[in-house]
Amino acid sequence: MITIYKKEATVYMVAENKLDAKDYENLIPVLIEHITAYQEVSWYIEMHNFEGWTANAYWKGIELNLPNETHLKRVALVGSVIWQEQFTEALLPFSEAHIKFYKPEEKDDAKEWIKKNSKK
């Protein structure tokens, strides 16, 4: 399950439990809207009790095809070290973005890092 918040050029997402294809169907339009509307977009992702992805959702994540994806400049991931490698694979379409990982106790630092992009 994901919860999505938007503030200016930043998309904030909280992922809980196991993500499925419906989660990506909800997320993709939000990302497309922001990447189209803003020259520089940041994406903050926080994971709580994260159990991974269903197989269908995992492939949807890898196959994201977003217009103007070069507008995505920063991605901050807050979560368990166990999931960092897998989530990095899911974010491969955004390889031009600067992706940074944070431990749960560092989430305030992650939010500050994301805010730096939106002040440019």
Task: Quick: pLDDT tens for 11-56.
Answer: 999 988 887 878 888 888 888 888 888 888 898 988 887 776 665 6
In degrees rounded to 5, what are phi and psi of residue 101? Answer: -105, 140
Which domains occur in the chain, in start order? 2-116 (3.40.50.10600)
Residue 76 and residue 79: Cα distance in Å, rounded?
A: 10
Give the mean model confidence (pLDDT) for residues 54-82. 67
